[in-house]
């Protein structure tokens, strides 16, 4: 069938929407009419200087929409179902076995190979194979072919388009707190970098009754929003030293948990240094070499990575939806909607940080 998709890079090296041909869904896949897709920093990284995905490709990995067709072996979805597309997994490896699909052995091939695990792509452009299946969805498009196991059914009573970022950014931030840290009420947390992922962590920390919740950023406006969403203190690193301030706030005790979203080695060092012994620091994104003080680790500190907040989307997304229903996840304060045609503006606003979470909306 014909569909519209954002091709990157296009003939001019930029991104543009054009007509593509989509395969019919295979036995275990869905054809989803995409109604909205959030923009995540991983989309921007793939458009940056060192993308770790073969190009050209159709990006987009926070898609929501309506099932139009189901593959022959799909039993848990029907046409008309509202769905959110999230991470894919093989279902049989040791990570999948212990309920950690984010660390599936096939994570890279299923998300970053620009095709299905067998090398095929569901998208053809001008008669040639086009990279697709980005995060098993490539949802900067009017339609997506996605494996049914990566889809989560969504209830009718919630605004589906607003839920799009739950599929990656929000589940990464909230999942780091609720699935990895599992804090007790009254435990302290420092969150370094309060974009969409960090702010989701702030909301989850508030939900879990952490105290104090300390937000650290160099953007005063974001710190204000972090406070509105539950942070007890905001530290602006343009004017203050984060470590000194955290030690002051906690009477030199440090916090039980820290979460870095900046990926910068010096910030990760601070995130480790500000921990109480036995504390855990999680990082959501970094490709830098880190220098770690062995004695700090010896005394009980833990440093670990967080992919997608170690979430199992089929169970965690409904929990996040329930948090939204109860007012604990006011996503509307983070997002700005853009028509799909204004993709370039939305990407630029995500890149500059002018908007925390742009969401593209697709009309027919
Ligand atoms: Zn697996
Ligand atoms: Zn993402």
With contact defined as beta carbons under 8 Å apart, do 237 and 217 qualify? yes
For residue 322, is it within any domain?
no
Instruction: Print the domain residue range for 205.
Output: 173-307
Give residue 239 CA to ligand 2 midpoint distance, Å.
30
Number of the ligand closest to the Cα of 105: 1
Q: Are residues 303 and 343 in the same domain?
A: no
Number of the ligand closest to the Cα of 44: 2
Number of the ligand closest to the Cα of 135: 2
Q: What is the pLDDT of residues 245-264, one digit of tens each?
A: 999 999 999 999 999 999 99
Q: Is the pLDDT of residue 344 over 60?
A: yes
- pLDDT exceeding 70 applies to what percent of the chain? 100
Q: Are residues 146 and 78 in the same domain?
A: yes
For residue 326, is it within any domain?
no
Mean pLDDT of 113-136: 98
Q: What is the mean pLDDT of the chain?
A: 97
Q: Are residues 25 and 161 in the same domain?
A: yes
For residue 237, is it within any domain?
yes
CA distance 57 to 281: 34
For residue 46, is it within any domain?
yes
Give residue 95 CA to ligand 1 midpoint distance, Å.
6
Q: Is the pLDDT of residue 293 over 90?
A: no
Q: Are residues 187 and 91 in the same domain?
A: no
For residue 230, is it within any domain?
yes
Give residue 316 CA to ligand 1 midpoint distance, Å.
18
Q: Are residues 191 and 208 in the same domain?
A: yes
CA distance 217 to 33: 37
Give residue 40 CA to ligand 2 midpoint distance, Å.
5
Show which of 290, 307, 324 is a domain's final residue.
307
119-149 in b/e form (b: 16+ CB < 10 A) is eebbbebeeeebbbbbbbbbbbbbbbbbbbb
Q: Are residues 138 and 9 in the same domain?
A: yes
Q: What is the pLDDT of residues 174-216, one digit of tens each?
A: 999 999 999 999 999 999 999 999 999 999 999 999 999 999 9
pLDDT band, very low/low/confident/very high, at 296 (cuts 50, 70, 90)? confident
Show which of 307, 324, 346 is a domain's final residue.
307
Q: Are residues 303 and 338 in the same domain?
A: no
Number of the ligand closest to the Cα of 164: 2
Q: What is the pLDDT of residues 54-103, one digit of tens each?
A: 999 999 999 999 999 999 999 999 999 999 999 999 999 999 999 999 99
Q: Is the pLDDT of residue 364 over 80?
A: no
Closest C-alpha to 83, from 74, 92, 93: 74
The number of distinct structural domains making up the chain is 2
Query: What CATH number corresponds to the domain at position 60?
Result: 3.90.180.10
Number of Cβ within a 10 Å radius of residue 270: 21
Query: What CATH number corresponds to the domain at position 221?
Result: 3.40.50.720
For residue 19, is it within any domain?
yes
């Amino acid at each position: 069938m014909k569909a519209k998709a954002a091709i990157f890079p296009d003939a001019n090296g930029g991104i543009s929407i054009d007509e593509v041909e989509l395969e019919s869904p295979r036995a275990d896949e869905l054809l989803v009419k995409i109604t909205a897709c959030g923009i995540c920093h991983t989309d921007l990284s793939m458009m940056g200087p060192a993308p770790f995905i073969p190009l050209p490709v159709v990006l987009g990995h926070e898609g929501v929409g309506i099932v139009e067709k189901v593959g022959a072996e799909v039993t848990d979805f029907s046409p008309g179902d509202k769905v959110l597309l999230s991470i894919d997994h093989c279902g049989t490896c040791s990570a999948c076995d212990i309920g950690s699909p984010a660390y599936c052995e096939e994570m890279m091939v299923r998300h970053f190979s620009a095709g299905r695990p067998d090398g095929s792509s569901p998208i053809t452009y001008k008669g040639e194979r086009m990279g697709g299946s980005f995060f098993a969805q490539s949802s900067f498009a009017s339609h997506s072919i996605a494996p049914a196991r990566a889809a989560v059914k969504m209830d009718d009573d919630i605004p589906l388009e607003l839920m799009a970022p739950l599929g990656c950014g929000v589940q990464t931030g909230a999942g780091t707190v609720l699935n990895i840290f599992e804090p007790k009420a009254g435990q302290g947390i420092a969150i370094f970098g309060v974009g969409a992922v960090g702010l989701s962590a702030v909301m989850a920390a508030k939900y879990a009754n952490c105290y104090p919740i300390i937000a650290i950023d160099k953007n005063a406006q974001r710190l204000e929003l972090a406070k509105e969403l539950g942070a007890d203190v905001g530290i602006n690193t343009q004017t203050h030293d984060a470590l000194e301030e955290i030690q002051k706030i906690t009477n030199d005790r440090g916090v039980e948990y820290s979460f870095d979203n900046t990926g910068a080695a010096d910030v990760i060092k601070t995130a480790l240094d500000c921990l109480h012994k036995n504390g855990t620091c999680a990082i959501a994104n970094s490709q830098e070499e880190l220098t770690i003080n062995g004695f700090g680790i010896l005394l009980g500190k833990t440093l670990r990575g967080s992919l997608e907040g170690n979430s199992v989307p089929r169970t965690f997304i409904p929990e996040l939806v329930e948090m939204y229903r109860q007012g604990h996840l006011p996503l509307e304060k983070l997002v700005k909607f853009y028509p799909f045609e204004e993709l370039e503006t939305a990407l630029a606003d995500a890149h500059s940080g002018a908007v925390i979470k742009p969401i593209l909306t697709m009309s027919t």
